[in-house]
Amino acid sequence: MTPSIFAPVSTPAFAIRDVAFFVLGITAVIFLVVAGVAVFALVRFRRRRGDDGREPPQVYGSQQIELAWTLVPLLIVVVLFLVTARYIYAIERRPQPPEALEVTIVGHQWWWEIRYPKLGIVTANEIHVPESDPANPTPTFITLESADVIHSFWIPQLAGKMDVIPNKTNRVWIDPQRTGTYVGQCAEYCGLQHAGMRLAVTVHTRDDFGRWAAEQQAHARDDVEAREGRELFSSLACINCHTVRGTTANGVFGPDLTHLMSRSTIGAGVAPNTPKTLRAWVADPASLKPGALMPAMKLSRDDLDKVTAYLSTLR
């Protein structure tokens, strides 16, 4: 699961890899030539044993040589610039096709709110998108907003990063061409748990994405066996910050929990989402993620079991 920029699966990342190889090639040649000359000069012109102590010929400069090593780099820079400008416009100015999926991502300290405005889906930290066939592309256009400080959205295998800035709306697009899960994390320092603000993009086939979306659109399950836990949950401060659609819980400060158990991690990727870690999280989030803004709920052991049992039914 190494998020290498040299293992792209989406057009912007492919383009950046290509331009990167081009630049790496040019700089490698420059390095070999200049370092080669330097090594040669340092070895060849070292002072040798038995030196006569006389000063070597003094060369004050040469207009032709100096002009040459001004103009050659200038030419290289012009070429580099033209290539760069072309790639900037090709990536940033791509128009949004009508069949594109729209996703809005809101950065929070220290988790990601994921909204699909046209599908009526709200989730967190794990983005699901359909595969895009280059012959018949279905790209995903992402709108980036922040609820507090600056974050940065970066999934290296899909696209370059884009900052997530309060009071400013940024956009980025991806068209992943292979199913799988691609990881990334916040790339702009955003406070105490910057390191614990990870995210993942899961790319489905189109059919699988349709199924995932349908499941997410449903209201929360109402499992008879977890009724007691649900009552307890509704009576606690949980509902001030969390939403469980179809219940009285409609807080917006924390992640939407309607389909909590469909996510593979909790705490924005800091721990796998199992009943055990979920219980530990509800008991004291700081035990898994020091500094997390959710307070320890200080529940009795019995209540903790009931709330965890209820949350475990939110598939």
User: Which of the residues 142 through 161 are near other proteins (CB under 8 A)?
Assistant: 148-150, 152, 154, 156-157, 159-161
* Piece of 11-19, 133-141, 247-255, 273-281 that binds other proteins (CB under 8 A): 11-19
Q: Does 6 bind other proteins (CB under 8 A)?
A: yes
Q: Does 27 bind other proteins (CB under 8 A)?
A: yes
Q: Does 284 bind other proteins (CB under 8 A)?
A: no
Amino acid at 64: Q
Sign of the CA dihedral with 213 first, then 175, 159, and 149 last: negative
Q: Which helix (H) or strand (E) holds 42?
A: helix 11-44
Kindly state the DSSP code that residue 39 receives in the 8-state scheme. Answer: H
Residue 303: both structure tokens together: 């209540």
Minimum Å gap between C-beta 268 and other proteins is 12
Q: Does 253 bind other proteins (CB under 8 A)?
A: no
Minimum Å gap between C-beta 283 and other proteins is 19
Q: Does 247 bind other proteins (CB under 8 A)?
A: no
Binding residues among 33-52 for other proteins as defined by CB under 8 A: 34-35, 37-38, 41-42, 45-47, 51
> Are the C-beta atoms of residues 90 and 16 closer than 8 Å to each other?
no
Amino acid at 246: G
Q: Can you tell me which of 166, 180, 210, 275 binds other proteins, judged by CB under 8 A?
A: 166
Residue 274: other Cβ atoms inside 10 A: 14
120 φ, ψ (degrees, to nearest 5): 70, 35
- Give the C-alpha separation, 240 to 259, whole Å: 18
Per the DSSP assignment, residues forming a β-bridge with 153 are 162
* Piece of 27-35, 201-209, 211-219, 299-307 that binds other proteins (CB under 8 A): 27-35
- Give the C-alpha separation, 182 to 200, whole Å: 6
Q: Does 5 bind other proteins (CB under 8 A)?
A: yes
Q: Does 272 bind other proteins (CB under 8 A)?
A: no
Kindly state the DSSP code that residue 313 receives in the 8-state scheme. Answer: T
* Piece of 56-64, 217-225, 252-260, 274-282 that binds other proteins (CB under 8 A): 56-64
* Piece of 31-39, 173-181, 206-214, 240-248 that binds other proteins (CB under 8 A): 31-39
Look-up: residue for tokens 């977890």?
A: 226
Binding residues among 66-105 for other proteins as defined by CB under 8 A: 66, 69-70, 73-74, 76-77, 80-81, 83-85, 87-89, 91-93
Q: Does 31 bind other proteins (CB under 8 A)?
A: yes
Binding residues among 182-211 for other proteins as defined by CB under 8 A: 183-196, 198
Q: Does 64 bind other proteins (CB under 8 A)?
A: no
- Helix 227-235 × helix 301-311 angle, to 10°: 110
Q: Whose Cβ is closer to other proteins: residue 8's or residue 254's? A: 8
Please list, in sequence order, all residues whose beta carbon lies within 8 angstroms of the beta carbon of residue 303, skipping any fewer than 6 positions away.
Answer: 232
CB burial of residue 99 (10 Å; 0-12, 13-18, 19+): exposed
Minimum Å gap between C-beta 56 and other proteins is 5
